[in-house]
Each structure stands twice: as C-alpha cells, then as structure tokens.
A and B are shown apart, each in its own frame.
Chain A
C-alpha cells in the first residue's frame, strides 16, 4: 500500500517524474553557483597570500578529514542502492539502505564535531587569540569555518529529509517506487557529497605535498 503517485497538475506519471528530476537539476545548478562563488573567493585569496594560506592548511586534521571523506563516499553508495531498490519496489531493502545513509551522514557530523573541538582547542578560530601569525592564515580559517559550516547545514537538511522519507515509506504514504521523489533526493545527497570532494583538497591537502 503506497500513497498516490500522480499529483496535479500532471496527467501522466512519466512527465511528472521528468519534471521532478529537471527541477532538482536546476536547483543543483543554483547550489553549484552558491558554493562555486565561495570556492572562487577562496582561490583569489590563495593567489594573493599563498604562504599564509598553505601554512594554515597544514594545521587542519587530515586524519579526521580523510575518515569523513570515506564515510561520505560510503553514504552515497547506500543512497544509490536505496534508489535502485525502490525502483524494484523492494520496500525492506529501500528502508535499510536509507537508514544506513542517514547513519553515515550522522557519523560524518559526529566526526566533524570532534574535529571542531580540536580546532577550537588549538586556537584556530580567527580573532585576537589566533594561533598563527602569517598574513592570510586568518583568512584561510575564516573560509574553513564558513564553508564546512554551510556544508554541515546542507548535510543536516539531507539527513532530516532521509529520516522523514523512511517514516513515510514505513507508513505507506509515499509512492516511493514511482513518484520520482527518491531519485531527486538522491541527486541532492550526491551533490552534498560532491561539494565535500572539492572542499577536502582545498582545505586539507594544500601545503602537504
């Protein structure tokens, strides 16, 4: 038993699925411009203050950063499998994979919180007590906090929607196999993942070669 798949104003399901995916792709385009502008500003400063930015990048915790990269990649795999399982109307597997996805997402946030605590202890928050003195180092950590923070907010939104989706599938109020909802959710989740794939080398790998 699942909810109504076809909604107004559409008259056939194929077109509705197309519209949902298309709308999500356009939204992703806006997200790319959103994060892209921050990447651009970061790159400009990297050009202006190469020494200070690289010195600051060496202070990030590469172990926790790498672990988080692995966790996020794994979550994208489970999300993709959930989508495939839903396509074949396998309710149990869909819910299992979605739950794993949410768990990986939460795991990422927990690791990130530990990392933040360490950063604060090492006086890496810009301000009068900042640990480094190179010009540009404070700029690096300005971007570090803003960009990982925005990424974490995106991930939190993703986790909440995944949890609601699990609840709706269990309750039977979401036509999860046919309505085009899960592929769109998957697209969003993968985008959040891809943003991290860009953040990781920018913030953690610089100055370490």
Chain B
C-alpha cells in the first residue's frame, strides 16, 4: 500500500509571519488540524493544533510551528509512515517528492487504511506487515530472529472437532504469542491460516525463552494442541543479507514443515541442541526435497507438546 493511495493533496498554508491567533482562526474556520508554513514557496514547517494550544497567541507562526519536518514520498509504504508516526509521536506527515510538496497524510487516515490489514479473527496484522518489517530490516542490514509457528494437524483438528473449535485454537495461540512479545522490538503477524510469524530484534536469551514458551504444552477443551516451529537467527545465518525476505520465510517455514514430518515426542531442547550444533543447514542450496530428506535423516525432531 502506497502513501499516494491515502494522502490528501489539498493542503492549507500560512506564512511564518502571521500570528498564532490568526492561524487558530483559519484552522477553526476551515475545520482543519494543521497548516503548512510556507514562505516564498519554501516549506518552513508545520503548525498543528497542538502547537497552537501551547503557544502564546501573539507569537508569530515561526515561533510556534514545528520546524523539523518528517516527510515521506508518495511511493513509500504506508507501514513506513506508520512507524514514523510512532517513532516521532506525531499526527501528520508531509508528502514530498523532489523537494516539492505533494500533500499530507494523517494518522487517522493511516490507521484507517492499516485497520484493513488487520486479521479480524485475532486482531493481529496480516502477512504484508511482516513482509514490510522484514524487508526494511534487511535493507537497513539489521540482523533479526525469524520465528515461524505452525499448528500441527490443524486440518485434522478442524475435521474432528469442528471449525469453531479450530477458530478457538487459533485465538488461543494468538493470545499466547501476543502476551509473549514485546511491542518495542518484536513484530508479530498471523501469516496465513494457522501460521504465525515473529520477527524479533531481542537478544538470544529472550529468544530462547520465547521458543520455550511458544512450544509449551497447551490443552484446549481436553484436546492437546502442538505447534511446529521454524527458527532462524539472522546473526548466525551465513550471508543473511544476501537473502530476500521471501527466501528467509521459505526456509523457516520449511524448517517447521520438517518438524511436522518427524513426529516423535521430543522436547524443544532436542531441536534447540541440534540447532546449536548447526545440524540444520538452512543456508544449503539443495532443493526443498533434498533438504527435507536431509532434515529427516539428521533426525530433526518435531516440536511436539
């Protein structure tokens, strides 16, 4: 989703010489929450209703405006604008292209658009969210942990206990994941169906704890629920940044599939020890079939709870 899809191009302006009280009048008359401060066709800053409230009405606009403008380009992703809003705790972002003002995008509009990306069932963001986060981190060359969580035998659960129960399972796992992650440095989404993805910037110690918690036994209405987990540590994966997010997701989902295949009741510790010994070579260039066969041969255990 591009900024150009939601930005407004009709932006009201004011000169930096005007008084704050006249700016307030203009904002009231037009029923708007901000004015762009423009002198001689040059954007100087933005005056928001928050600025007006906190400045003396006699001051000139130049002394009340927010001078350091946060800007985006029309072709940038809405998720990018959302993270800028959060990071700078602002309500509006100016849309600029080649030093030319193109419009304005508001928090309200961004949130409305992003709510369309919310999964109604769990309240989590859907796959585009995690794709944006992952691609951005790769672009910034920031290593991250990638965790893929997949419910074992979800089809069978639906078949034997009904879809409403399957929905409850999804919700229960989603709640467990939401309670686990930290807003500051973790990113969680319902990737598809019974699959969830976490991208985390946490330290390895916290990731170990996540993996233990995610794979803890869960019983819902006397039905045991287990999950398969694929995990990739960006700090240890060779040539991590040479992969696209799509490739990394494929690898990590493949790891969880391998775990599904090897259905023995073994603890997470078994897999974790194997992972530490680097027996799971996810950077291998072998085909998926070969990788699966190799994975099973090496005895990668299922995360079975």
Q: Is this pair of chains taken from one and the same complex?
A: no
Residues of A within 8 A of B (CB): none
Residues of B within 8 A of A (CB): none
